[in-house]
Amino acid sequence: MQTEEVILVNTSDEEIGTMEKMKAHEEALLHRAFSVFVFNHKGEMLIHQRAIEKYHSGGLWTNACCSHPRKGETTEEAAHRRLMEEMGFDCPVSERFSFIYKAKLDQGLTEYEFDHVFFGSFDGRPQPNPDEVCDWKYVSIRELKDNIKMEPEAYTEWFKIAIDKMTESKIALKP
């Protein structure tokens, strides 16, 4: 299996090199990432529970998909690729905002990412990859925010930060 690399960036999201993914997370180096938020026609967000066996944050709830673009791949192309790989569907997406965050995770890893957040719309039934996802559901934003307040440990760090950024910016929830 080929070693997966991430694109290292500066705080302006300018590419400065590449590095093996696990090494970048061990050394807490800033790299490009993306998160996809998918909404149905009712305005509910599709969230999923990461497979227990994931290399970090296993069993935690998060957005429809997230990952890192590959060298030579745009973040939007990567968003479409990962929607198919993780959730078994694709839909139109548009970038809505970006942010930088740094968070210590389990397994001695640190996420330090320049995260591009895309919104998409989908009303169908996902066909998730069981290596990536162990459960999924559509949830209202109000219910989601209430649940994050009551059980913050049940959600990924980047998802909690992105939800706060989305709320602070009053970003329209419609894709």
> DSSP letter at 83?
I
113 is catalytic: yes
Return the H-helix or E-strand segment holding 137.
Answer: strand 133-139
Q: Are 68 and 34 in contact (CB under 8 A)?
A: yes
Distance, in Å, from the CA atom of 95 to the CA atom of 119, rounded to the nearest integer, reads: 6
H or E, element range at 150: helix 141-150
Is 66 catalytic? The answer is yes
Cα torsion 28, 129, 61, 56: sign: negative
> Rounded to whole angstroms, how far apart are CA atoms 70 and 86?
16
Q: Are strands 110-121 and 133-139 parallel, antiparallel or unpaired?
A: unpaired
Out of 86, 113, 132, 157, pick the active-site residue: 113
Amino acid identity for residue 109 in this structure: L
d(CA 29, CA 69): 15
Q: Which of 44, 66, 86, 157 is catalytic?
A: 66
Catalytic residues: 66, 113
